[in-house]
Amino acid sequence: MVLKSNLKFKTGRHIKIFFLIILIISISFLILLSGTNKEEAEKHYYLGIEYYEQGLIDKAIEEFRLAIQYNQDYAAAYYNIGNAYEFNGNYDKAIEYFLKAISLDPSIFYFYRHLGDMYYYKGYYDKAIENYYKALSLIQEDTITKDISKQFIYLYLGFAYHHKGNYDKAIEEYKLAIKYKPDFAIAHYNLGVVYGKKLLTDKAIGEYKLAIKYKPDYAKAHLNLGGQYFNKTLYDEAIKEYEIALNYTQDDLDKVDLYGRLGLLYNHPKENYDKSIEYYKKALNIQPENEIIYINIGTVYDDKGDYSKAIEYYQKAIEINPDYAEAYYNMGIAYYSKGWKTSAADYLYQAGLIYLGQKDRQKVLRQIDFMKDLVPDSPLIPILMEKLYAEDVEQTPKEKDIGYSGSGFIINNDGFIVTNYHIIEGMENIDIYFPSNDKQYKVEIVIKDINNDIALLKINDSRFTKVIGNIPFGLGSSSDIKVGQEVFTIGFPLEDILGKSAKLSTGLVNSLYGILDDPTLIQISNPIQPGNSGGALFNSNGDVIGIVIASLNAKYFYENTDIIPQNVNFAIKVDYLRNLISMLPDGEEILNRKSQISNLPLETQFDRIKPFVVNIKAY
């Protein structure tokens, strides 16, 4: 017997009513579920805020991600993940999440403000400026924090224009920042820096004074104010500001710089030799292996007439750096002052040999002139002249025409090479030499960045096919560079003296900024000689984090910037290279390549990298 249901829909109307009821129940359930999801999203979001405020960044990111799982349109959660990545220094990830937040809610000004900051930190100044102006356009005039928001945006606009070299626009933006906060010390300070670069000394002094008025312990403002007083030959005022700066600065490199400035001023024009030596020795306490400080102390003893003491310090400089020609020259002059002409001739001759090895013909001739004036009967004079002119005869036409020699490194197997632009600037011919296989090829310029001193070259030679082997190093990020980080470079310093094989130079990152806080450079302690320029600077993981530029000449640098460098060497930050590589057809592949040598000892890393390091010859 079959049982049949008595439930029947007698009309189409009943069917419609039934499905309407089902639809109403479903919508009600979805509304209830949606409300529950939003509550869960809010719970995780505010928990993320708590973790962020406690400095538990990874936990904060985890909670913000959970908030997004419950509400995929949660713009504030994306924004705060961006903030967390910014806190960790991962600017690329921060940009990704700020952009997502903006796509969900393009009306929030601080989304654009923080996106602009990320582009600024990465050196993409045009993008930073674009987003800062967008942020300004979205600030509501009735917002309580309107003035605070604007003052910081205008400040960063000033930074961006400043680093682009557009000083007039930088001045305009710094002034707007000050308009919204008249006691904004950092804005006054940076306005002073720009006025200084425009050689508007009195205006620079005025702004530095205002910065100090609003922030009396502003060490850099005191330092720069002292520098401007020095420019005006107001030496007592300069000394006063440098000594005040010393009371406030905590940075050892700034202290060495200040001790050097004070040592110089007390030597000349003050002629307070003991005070000068006292300050230089304080610098030595911080950097006991800095040969330039020893030279400076020796010079003071020279001026004081204590030639034996001067010789002692010059000798120490030579022990630290046997290729320091100026130390040999100063030693020669000191011996001459003591009446020891044979020793004087010997050291002047040694200086001449070093200049000869550096192919600095003018300085060799200068040494010969000094020797003719001071020790005219020395038999070393004709020997040095013979070496100079014999070298001219022995050179082949090609070698004689070489204008510059430097270092470079391969970035892909098709023969793309990175070096400094100044090495190849204005030269008709550029060759690269592989010491690893004794091959030399012609190259051509593919991309050049004159402002940042970077050139991308490509081998253009019928004999060349491919670079053999896997390139073992990757490209790092400027955001990963830390003060105190161990770094090394491989290049071809003083090739004619030290030979054609690649040389290793190790050191530390001293500062994340270059001259006058130039953000394009980092300061390093690696010994750098002529020929190192254009070489890659590697971190301990085997990633390129910079491009080496030559050591600064102390006398030249001081005469042009009023700063006395103490063992100051620099490298260009890698992000400026990344910008150029991104223009290449396979740029993405190069940029994403990972280091294969991160866990290897330094000597193994050197052996693996060496085949991909080249000697640049431009003539």
Task: Please indicate, yes or no, if residue 413 is contained in any of the structural domains.
Answer: yes
Give the rounded distance of the alpha carbon of 113 from its chain centre.
24
Strand 613-618 versus strand 430-434 pairing type: antiparallel
From 570, 614, 585, select the one nearest 471 (Cα to Cα): 614
pLDDT of residue 550: 59
Give, in order, the Cα–Cα distances in Å from 161 to each of 132, 197, 206, 574: 12, 13, 21, 21
Question: pLDDT at residue 446 above 80?
Answer: yes
Q: Are 516 and 193 in contact (CB under 8 A)?
A: yes
Question: pLDDT at residue 399 above 50?
Answer: no
Task: Give the confidence band of 542 by pLDDT, cuts at 50, 70, 90.
Answer: very high
Task: Please indicate, yes or no, if residue 526 is contained in any of the structural domains.
Answer: yes
Task: Give the confidence band of 32 by pLDDT, cuts at 50, 70, 90.
Answer: very low
Task: Please indicate, yes or no, if residue 296 is contained in any of the structural domains.
Answer: no
Question: pLDDT at residue 291 above 80?
Answer: yes
Question: pLDDT at residue 170 above 70?
Answer: yes
- Mean pLDDT over each residue of the chain, to the nearest integer: 85
pLDDT tens digits for range 410-437 = 999 888 999 998 888 888 888 898 887 7
Residue 574 is part of a domain; what is its CATH number? Answer: 2.40.10.120
pLDDT tens digits for range 109-162 = 989 999 999 999 888 999 999 999 999 998 876 555 667 788 999 999 999 999
Amino acid at 493: P
Mean pLDDT of 91-120: 92
What is the tally of structural domains in the chain?
1
DSSP 286-340: H-TT-HHHHHHHHHHHHHHT-HHHHHHHHHHHHHH-TT-HHHHHHHHHHHHHHT-
Q: Distance (Å, rounded) from C-alpha 296 to C-alpha 437?
A: 44
Q: Are 203 and 197 in contact (CB under 8 A)?
A: no
pLDDT tens digits for range 487-517 = 999 988 876 667 678 889 899 998 898 765 6
What phi and psi values does residue 285 have, to the nearest 5 degrees?
Answer: -60, -30
Task: Please indicate, yes or no, if residue 571 is contained in any of the structural domains.
Answer: yes
Least confident of 294-303, 347-356, 419-428, 516-525: 516-525
Q: The dihedral of CA 73, 76, 80, 83: what is its sign? A: positive
Q: Distance (Å, rounded) from C-alpha 218 to C-alpha 250?
A: 11
pLDDT of residue 439: 84
DSSP 448-508: EETTTTEEEEEE--TT-----S----EE--GGG--TT-EEEEEE-TTHHHH-SS-EEEEEE
Question: pLDDT at residue 259 above 50?
Answer: yes
Higher-confidence residue of 286 and 30: namely: 286
* pTM recorded for the entire structure: 0.57
pLDDT of residue 187: 95
Q: What's the number of CA atoms in the CB half-sphere (13 Å) around residue 280?
A: 27
Query: How many CB atoms are closer than 10 A to CB 229?
Result: 21
Peptide bond into 269 cis (omega under 30): yes
Question: pLDDT at residue 295 above 60?
Answer: yes
Question: pLDDT at residue 276 above 90?
Answer: yes
Where residue 429 falls (left for φ over 0; alpha for ψ -120 to 50; beta otherwise) is: beta
Task: Please indicate, yes or no, if residue 432 is contained in any of the structural domains.
Answer: yes
The neighbouring-strand residues paired with 547 are 536, 572
Q: How far apart are the first and last CA of the chain?
A: 108
The neighbouring-strand residues paired with 410 are 417
Q: Are 523 and 509 in contact (CB under 8 A)?
A: yes
Task: Please indicate, yes or no, if residue 241 is contained in any of the structural domains.
Answer: no
Task: Give the confidence band of 12 by pLDDT, cuts at 50, 70, 90.
Answer: low
Task: Please indicate, yes or no, if residue 429 is contained in any of the structural domains.
Answer: yes
Question: pLDDT at residue 551 above 80?
Answer: no
pLDDT of residue 565: 53
Q: Distance (Å, rounded) from C-alpha 560 to C-alpha 358?
A: 23
Q: Distance (Å, rounded) from C-alpha 223 to C-alpha 220?
A: 5
From 571, 547, 564, select the one nearest 253 (Cα to Cα): 564
pLDDT tens digits for range 558-590 = 454 455 555 668 899 999 899 889 888 888 889
Give the domain extent around 547. 404-618
pLDDT of residue 26: 53
pLDDT of residue 467: 78
Task: Please indicate, yes or no, if residue 42 is contained in any of the structural domains.
Answer: no
Size (the chain), residues: 619
Q: Distance (Å, rounded) from C-alpha 245 to C-alpha 85?
A: 35
